Amino acid sequence: MKKKFVILILIFFSLFVVGCGQAGSYTFDYVISEGDVVYYTDNSGDIVRFSEEGQTKDTIIIQYYRVSKDGKYYQSTLRPFGYWVKLESTQLRDLYVPNLILVNDKYGLSIGVHPKMPNLERLFSASGSDLYLHYENFKGTQYYPNIDGINSYEIVEREDGSKDAIANVSYYINPFTYYSDGQKFESSSTIISIGGKKVESSSILYFLDDVDGEKIKNIPQLPVLCLSGAFFNPTHQKKYCAIVDGWYKEPECINKWDFEKDIVPKKMYDEEGKYLYKETRLYAQVTSVVPLEEFGV
């Protein structure tokens, strides 16, 4: 009896080691490569790693959603699935992650268990959270939203050698009230948290960038706001999606920003060399609310 028990334990341990080895090598039975990233399956938005194409680029923008082969929408997800998520690139310099990407709450915002991006210089977190929560090798600058309405600041250097800065280009989705199918939809407030400080806003902060006297080169994907209570609160169980139009120069959404011509103002400094912060805000608006079945899951 004892021998049988020992044999069973050895078999279980062998299977466990083999399983961990497969996870550690990041091999999957079902993966789909699209653009800069690889998704776990065609029927999900779970990001596994950078694609071969993505590993050759110096700038990557994580897309807010993807559309599967059968036309369904899936919101992108960055979750630490054990050792399955492995974001690695020796070429990457700038990484942009929009707000409201789904995350694993237990770990906070994370971009993998042990990401290897040794040359990453700029990391943009529109959620205001620290994406490198457990990554000690990051020595670049992480950019946050301007939640205090500041007009000047100095870059903060952390003990681990990384730096914190305030982005000077912000993308916002206007608060809205919309009637569709006899129902009322209205955006709820979002909460941005930085260093334990929480700020509530009726507008939805979506994306950040930092540009100095140039045209905006890294343009975010317009989101389709589906399956998220952070955007609207339907009075019954039927699900809907909000369609967004942008990007405009003013909250009234009259004049669109021309990414081919318009230039972000050059950064200015005082006599002592202190940065005189000036924010460029771009805006989007909800133009319609439609039943979820038009977009799939």
| SS3 assignment, position 11 | helix
**Residue 176: Cβ within 10 Å count:** 20
Is the Cβ–Cβ distance between 91 and 57 less than 8 Å?
yes
Spans of the chain below 70 pLDDT: 1-30, 78-85, 100-115, 128-137, 148-150, 152, 178-202, 226-239, 292-297
Say if residues 94 and 217 touch (Cβ distance below 8 Å): no
Cβ density class 196-230: b for 16+ within 10 Å, e for less:
eeebeeebbbbbbbbbeeeebeeebebbbbbeeee
Cα separation, 197 vs 67, in Å, equals 35
Which residue type does 34 have?
A: E
Residue 21 counted as domain residue: no
Is 22 inside a domain boundary?
no
Q: Is 260 helix (H, G, I), strand (E, B) or coil?
A: coil
* Cβ within 8 Å of residue 108, ≥6 positions away: 129, 130, 133
Considering the entire predicted model, what is its pTM? 0.79
Task: Report yes or no on 3 lying in a domain.
Answer: no
Whole-angstrom distance, CA of residue 65 vs CA of residue 72: 10
Q: Answer whether residue 11 is part of any domain.
A: no
Is residue 251 assigned to a domain? yes
pLDDT at position 67 is 81
Query: Structurally, how many domains does the chain consist of?
Result: 1
Domain contains 19: no
Strand order in the sheet with 94-97: 59-61, 94-97, 122-125, 141-144, 163-166, 156-157
Residue 117 forms part of a structural domain: yes
Do 287 and 243 meet the contact criterion of CB atoms below 8 Å apart? yes
| Residue 136: predicted pLDDT | 56
- Residue 210 maps to a domain: yes
Q: Kindly give the pairing relationship between strand 59-61 and strand 94-97.
A: parallel
Domain assignment of residue 90, given as a range: 27-294
d(CA 155, CA 165): 5
Contacts for 50 with CB less than 8 Å, ≥ 6 apart: 36, 37, 38, 60, 87, 88, 89, 92
